[in-house]
Chains A and B, each alone.
Chain A
Amino acid sequence: MRLILRLPKLRIMIEKEQSHHHLLKQMLRIRMFEEACAEQYSAGNIRGFLHLYIGEEAVAVGAMELFSLEDAVFATYREHGHALMRGISARSIMAEMFGKASGCCGGRGGSMHLFDKETLFLGGSAIVGGALPIATGLALANKLQNRNRLSVCFFGEGAMAEGEFHEAMNLAALWKLPVLFICENNLYAMGTALERSESETNLVRKVESYRVRCASVDGMDVLAVREAVKRAIRDVKELGTPYFLECKTYRFRAHSMFDPELYRDKSEVEEWKKRDPIDLLSNILRSQNLLDNTEIATMRSVVKEEIDDAIAFAEREPLEDVDNLYRFVYAEESLDG
């Protein structure tokens, strides 16, 4: 079982030639995975909260493959894309959302709480801002043990109104910790627009007051994200200090499956869709005659195969046994050393 689940991860590693085609395919992969999630939600196979990443794919795709497997990654409840890019298999994620035993958390976490020890993927946190202090503490552990590793924390701009954001920024800067904060600014904290929740809407300016090094990038442009994250990693590794990267992006779908989207105009969404990250990259490649429709169709069919397989897997796998309800409330294995 373990081996089967890990195969797609291996495939990504082999494929990881980092070409533009690869980036395009990964964005398509997340897009189509999320579309499949929406369908499975409508079919009643996925329940609870489901937050789709559609529109924001360039951030995870541009960033995630730049981290080593020793780096720790923390994400939000909108993390399917990050998990896929980290190498957690589509099967494992889909099975988790179906509440199955072979899901990456045995059906205990669901959509919002994907974890994977092997790749140091630490969730999947559903309390906005809550992972920031933990990522900071993990960076402290790295520093105290002289490990030249990153602690990476993704969060939305909504987190920047939380006290925990400010506490984490202060600690990370004060203690000079190697942590990379990546803000996915999609302009809405659920339904509350940035200008309705922040007195200072220039997020970089907010963070600069903590003496954290900062940058802002077009989060719809996967190539720009990639370059910005490369620079950020270099900065953190060389200086050993925190770095804040704002990725300006947009969520095309509703906040969750329960959101009637009363807070924004359809025209605004349509305007942003003109900058769809998948189209942006496709257009660049097309303009250079590096991509034709056949290639896109092939990519889609390969991705569809993977996702269909994940759904079939999730459907046929057994549910987590209720007898295991109490497992893992406390740790089962003794501590190392």
Chain B
Amino acid sequence: MAEEVTYREAVKRAIDKALDEDERVFVMGEDVGRYGGTYAVTHGLLEKYGPDRVRDTPLAESGFVGAGIGAAIGGMRPIVEVMTVNFSLLALDQIVNNAATLCHMSAGQFNVPLVIRMSTGAGRQLAAQHSHSWEGWYAHIPGVKILAPATVTDAYGMLLSALEEPDPTLIFEHALLYNMKGLLDTDDFGNFNIKSANVAKEGKDLTILTYGGSLPKVIESANDLDAEGVSAEVIDLRVLRPLDDETILASVRKTSKVLIVDEGWKSGSLSAELCTRIVEHAFFDLDAPIARVCSEEVPIPYAKHLEEAALPQVEKIVAKAKELVGSK
């Protein structure tokens, strides 16, 4: 039965279910226990499962992410929460040099079934050190899988499916999504898909590729565009590594025009990779140059008007889409 819940509640229910059903699962991270989680995702779980399974850590990202790798190799199924994507940079050595490489370096002898969750993104006036969007950058790395849930259904299902993965899986939860509400039906999660992109809205005039925290902005933009007679197809990428080329290219071939919306910067980015793949595989299907609405190439500023100017906004997306559709 479907129930309206927040994205935060959906993540929590998934963690709760995993802790309840699989004794190998435990949660570890900064302030996940007594504090209840910085974004209150794990609130109440310490009381239910105790400090061994809802484990507060010191401020030692490299240490506890590395410990998660070791625990995963040792037969556990850790869910490591890194408080924010910004702090994950302190654990890069463990993620990039160990989690991502151990399976290949050991010729498949050791694999790392580790789930790492973190909040990502900007939009709350937290300034340059708390507003990064590194998920596209993590998608650069062979050996990890990258998930970006943008709906309550994905927030729930992706976490549970990630725990079934034999490889390190990073889940990026945009901080602005936690309060978003949506319908969650927990009855049907047998073979939850964490391989494909999703056509979030069908359309015929252009394709908008996006994911995560930008999806609600893009849906709003697409609705505005509809009102102006422009039919946008919205693709929620969902999985940033490996990318679902098939779904992306099918939509490109259908509409022949592509707009990419990503809160990451443009240079050397996921949006750049998407452009390249489309050019490599569907160049002659395009009727116009690929367009992008991404964050401006500045450290994200604090002041509200400056931050808004730095990030993708509905007005920018709508304007860029109309420009694209107008061009032949």
Residues of chain A touching chain B, judged by Cβ–Cβ distance below 8 Å, are 72, 104-106, 108-109, 113, 115-117, 122-125, 127, 130-142, 144-145, 151, 163-164, 167-168, 170-171, 174, 327-336
Q: Which of A104, A170, A327 contacts B63 (CB 8 A)?
A: A170
Interface centre among B73, B97, B167 (most CB of A within 10 A): B73
Complex contacts, B110 vs chain A, CB 8 Å: 115, 117, 122
Q: How many Å lie between the Cα of A142 and that of B73 in the bound state?
A: 10
Q: Is the CB of B52 within 8 A of A137?
A: no
Q: Is the CB of B67 within 8 A of A115?
A: no
Complex contacts, B106 vs chain A, CB 8 Å: 105, 108-109, 113, 115, 117, 123, 328
Q: How many Å lie between the Cα of A103 and that of B73 in the bound state?
A: 22
Residues of chain B touching chain A, judged by Cβ–Cβ distance below 8 Å, are 26, 52, 57-58, 60, 62-76, 78, 93-94, 97-98, 102-111, 113, 142-143, 145, 164, 166-167
| Interchain residue pairs with CB less than 8 A apart (24) | A113-B105, A115-B106, A122-B73, A123-B106, A124-B105, A127-B93, A135-B70, A136-B67, A137-B72, A139-B74, A141-B76, A145-B74, A145-B75, A164-B63, A167-B58, A167-B62, A168-B63, A171-B57, A171-B60, A171-B63, A329-B103, A331-B111, A333-B111, A335-B113
Known pairs A106-B107, A151-B74; list 18 more (Cβ under 8 Å). Answer: A105-B107, A108-B107, A115-B106, A133-B94, A136-B66, A136-B67, A140-B71, A141-B76, A145-B74, A145-B75, A145-B76, A164-B93, A170-B63, A171-B63, A327-B108, A328-B103, A330-B167, A333-B108
CB distance from A73 to the nearest CB of B (A): 12
Q: How many Å lie between the Cα of A333 and that of B167 in the bound state?
A: 11
- List the 8 shortest-distance A-B pairs measured between CB atoms, nearest first: A133-B66, A137-B70, A141-B74, A167-B63, A137-B67, A115-B106, A331-B166, A331-B111
Which B residue's beta carbon lies closest to that of A106? B107
Complex contacts, B164 vs chain A, CB 8 Å: 335
Q: How many Å lie between the Cα of A288 and that of B145 in the bound state?
A: 61
Q: How many Å lie between the Cα of A133 and that of B99 in the bound state?
A: 12
Q: How many Å lie between the Cα of A113 and that of B97 in the bound state?
A: 12
Interface centre among A105, A131, A133, A328 (most CB of B within 10 A): A133
Q: Is the CB of B69 within 8 A of A328?
A: no
Q: Is the CB of B63 within 8 A of A136?
A: yes
Complex contacts, A330 vs chain B, CB 8 Å: 103, 143, 145, 166-167
CB distance from A99 to the nearest CB of B (A): 12
Which A residue's beta carbon lies closest to that of B55? A175
CB distance from A125 to the nearest CB of B (A): 8
CB distance from A40 to the nearest CB of B (A): 21
Q: How many Å lie between the Cα of A327 and that of B62 in the bound state?
A: 28
Q: Is the CB of B62 within 8 A of A164?
A: yes
Q: How many Å lie between the Cα of A144 and that of B24 in the bound state?
A: 9
Q: How many Å lie between the Cα of A336 and that of B110 in the bound state?
A: 13
Complex contacts, A132 vs chain B, CB 8 Å: 66
Q: Which of B94, B104, B113 contacts A328 (CB 8 A)?
A: B104
Complex contacts, A151 vs chain B, CB 8 Å: 70, 74
Q: How many Å lie between the Cα of A132 and that of B69 in the bound state?
A: 11
Complex contacts, B113 vs chain A, CB 8 Å: 335
CB distance from B118 to the nearest CB of A (A): 17
Complex contacts, B71 vs chain A, CB 8 Å: 137-138, 140-141, 144
CB distance from A5 to the nearest CB of B (A): 13
A105-B105, A108-B104, A115-B110 known; A133-B62 Cβ under 8 A: yes
Q: How many Å lie between the Cα of A167 and that of B109 in the bound state?
A: 27
Which A residue's beta carbon lies closest to that of B59? A167
A330-B167, A334-B166 known; A141-B70 Cβ under 8 A: yes
CB distance from B139 to the nearest CB of A (A): 14
CB distance from A161 to the nearest CB of B (A): 14
Q: Is the CB of A134 within 8 A of B63?
A: no
Complex contacts, A116 vs chain B, CB 8 Å: 109
Which B residue's beta carbon lies closest to that of A140? B71
Complex contacts, A144 vs chain B, CB 8 Å: 26, 52, 71, 76
Complex contacts, A167 vs chain B, CB 8 Å: 58, 60, 62-64, 66
Q: Is the CB of B69 within 8 A of A133?
A: yes
CB distance from B180 to the nearest CB of A (A): 31
Complex contacts, A131 vs chain B, CB 8 Å: 98
Q: How many Å lie between the Cα of A144 and that of B60 in the bound state?
A: 21
Q: How many Å lie between the Cα of A198 and that of B104 in the bound state?
A: 35
A130-B98, A151-B70 known; A329-B142 Cβ under 8 A: yes
Q: How many Å lie between the Cα of A116 and that of B106 in the bound state?
A: 8
Q: How many Å lie between the Cα of A106 and that of B107 in the bound state?
A: 6
